[in-house]
Each structure stands twice: as C-alpha cells, then as structure tokens.
C-alpha cells in the first residue's frame, strides 16, 4: 500500500514597495518598514522589500505589490519627487483601484491629494487620488503661521477591519485583553501645512484628535482613510507605537490576495509590552 505524502503548506509572502526612501524619510519613518517586516515574519509571512527612487522605470507595475509606503520629507524633498510621482500617477491610481494597501505619512499623504501649498505660496501638484488639499498653515484657519508640532493622540473614527474580524472570531475576554481592543493611535506630528478633506461616503478622516493638531487647526481630525489608503501626520515612528495598525495593513494585504490568518495566528504574539507602551504614549503631553 503506497504511503500518501502530505503536501507542504505554501508559505505566505508579501511584497512591499518603499517610495523614495532616500528623500522621504523624516523622523525615523523607516521604522515603519521594519515594523511591517518583523510582525509579518514573526507569523511566518515572508516580506520582500523593493525601493522606488527617481531612477526606477516608469512602467513599474505597482499593483503587483501588496503594500506601499510613502514617508515624509521637507518642502525641498517633496518638490524634488513631485514630478516623478506625477509621472507615475496612472500606475499608482491603477494599483489603488486594485486594492493596494498604502501607508502615506506627512509629505506622502499630502502628495496623494490635489496639491500641497508651500509656505511661499507655491502650489506643488499632487496626484489627486485623495480628495484632499493642503494649504500653508494659517491661510484657512486665520492663525499666525506656525508649525504644528508635538505628541499627537487620536481615536479611530471606526473599527479597523482586523478588529471586526477578531471580535467575530474570539471570546470577548481574549479580545478585550489584546492589542486589538485599542481604538486609539499615537505618534508625533511636525508639519506646516493644513490638510482639509472633502469628506464623502468613500473618503473621511482616519481618527479624531484627542491631543495635538492633526490635519489642521479647524476640525480636529487626523489622517484620512480611502479604499486601502491610510494617510496620516503621525511620525514617531507610527507603526511600532501602534501594532494594531501594522496588523491592519498586513490583514488588508492578505485579504486582497484571498488569504488570511486564523484568529489564533493573529493572537500568537505576546503584545503586552507593546500595549503598555501604547498606553504610556497616550499619557504624553
């Protein structure tokens, strides 16, 4: 009688594209790449990281990637990448419509919108994928021009998809004691532009400010959520301080592929230290 051989389980793999790492990398934003890589690998998911720079081919098929990261930069760096970014608009828009998961911080967030206005009044055109616009601080709020800087905490406007998934799958006590019960985000902001969202059923703020400034000095909203795009002003680095958001990006990337981890696999990490750090960051002033 022949022996049936078991077929080895195919290892999950994600591809991550890092936009302009040499130019858009303020305040330790590379830590976000490391957080995605580590939390995926700790669950047996291999992560392949490619960099996109000014010399990368314009026909690069961006929708072949699972996650994209666009960091922040100073005005001169944003000006430097703006033309190249615009030249990739069609490929980026195609990827967004295909469900690509994108985390865009500060300058990256602004460049996905309609335009970014510098302190000198120059308008740097964005991709217009996000229905947002960024003006030099003070033009709309009528405040004296200043930088919006400091610790920022905010409450999510609605649950993350991974939170809904795990609430359905887990015993309440297991869920309550996990990092996924967090409905807050923490980080550090430092920007001179004020971003305004033209909210609709498709696009809205990611979170509501508890402490700090967020998008602007008018509406106390932070970040944006559109399709699988997460835009935010949170540096710090953002993801190491918010592991539930790291896992949301991974969750959405796997979901787009028609794959998913079990509830037990999501809970396989001991996040007690991360949870304590997150709660401590909420108390910072």
Q: Which residue has the higher pLDDT, 254 or 9?
A: 254
pLDDT at 144: 67
pLDDT at 143: 63
pLDDT of residue 124: 86
Q: Residue range 139-144: average pLDDT?
A: 64
pLDDT digits (tens, 9 = 90+) for 164-173: 999 999 999 8
Confidence grade of residue 138 (pLDDT, cut at 50, 70, 90): low
pLDDT at site 152 = 96
Residue 141 banded pLDDT, cuts 50, 70, 90: low
The residues annotated as belonging to the active site are: 106, 235
Q: What is the mean pLDDT of residues 112-134?
A: 90
Q: Taking all residues of the chain, what is their mean pLDDT, rounded to a whole number?
A: 92
What is the model's pLDDT at position 232?
98
Give me the pLDDT at residue 7, please: 44
CB-based contact 152:214 (threshold 8 Å): yes
| Structural domains in the chain plus CATH codes | 13-282 (3.40.50.880)
Q: What is the mean pLDDT of residues 234-261?
A: 96
Taking the CA atoms of the chain, what radius of gyration do you get in angstroms? 19
Which has the closest alpha carbon to 74: 175, 165, 190, 168? 190
Residue 226, classified by CB atoms within 10 Å of its CB into exposed (0-12), middle (13-18) or buried (19+), is buried
Q: Are 132 and 113 in contact (CB under 8 A)?
A: yes
* Confidence (pLDDT) at 6: 44
User: Hey, which residues does 194 pair with through a beta bridge?
Assistant: 135
């Amino acid at each position: 009688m022949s022996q049936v051989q078991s077929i080895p389980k195919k290892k999950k793999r994600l591809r991550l594209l890092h936009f302009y790492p040499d130019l858009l990398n303020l305040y330790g934003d590379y830590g976000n790449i490391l957080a995605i890589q580590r939390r995926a690998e700790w669950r047996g998911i291999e992560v392949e990281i490619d960099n996109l720079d000014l010399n990368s081919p314009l026909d690069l098929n961006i929708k072949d990637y699972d996650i994209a990261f666009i960091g922040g930069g100073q005005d001169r760096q944003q000006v430097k990448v703006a033309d190249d970014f615009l030249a990739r608009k069609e490929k980026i828009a195609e990827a967004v419509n295909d469900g690509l998961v994108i985390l865009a911080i500060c300058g990256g967030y602004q460049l996905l919108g309609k335009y970014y206005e510098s302190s000198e009044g120059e308008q740097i055109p964005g991709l217009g994928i996000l229905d947002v616009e960024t003006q030099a601080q003070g033009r709309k709020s009528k405040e004296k021009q200043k930088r919006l800087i400091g610790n920022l905490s905010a409450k999510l406007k609605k649950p993350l998809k991974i939170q809904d998934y795990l609430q359905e799958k887990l015993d309440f006590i297991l869920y309550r004691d996990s990092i996924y019960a967090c409905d807050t985000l923490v980080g550090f902001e430092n920007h001179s532009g004020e971003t305004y969202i033209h909210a609709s059923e498709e696009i809205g703020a990611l979170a509501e400010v508890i402490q700090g400034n967020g998008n602007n000095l008018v509406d106390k909203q932070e970040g944006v959520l559109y399709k699988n795009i997460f835009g935010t002003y949170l540096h710090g680095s953002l993801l190491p301080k918010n592991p539930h958001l790291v896992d949301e990006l991974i969750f959405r990337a796997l979901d787009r592929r028609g794959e998913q981890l079990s509830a037990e696999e999501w809970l396989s990490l001991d996040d007690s230290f991360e949870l304590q750090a997150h709660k401590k960051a909420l108390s910072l002033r």
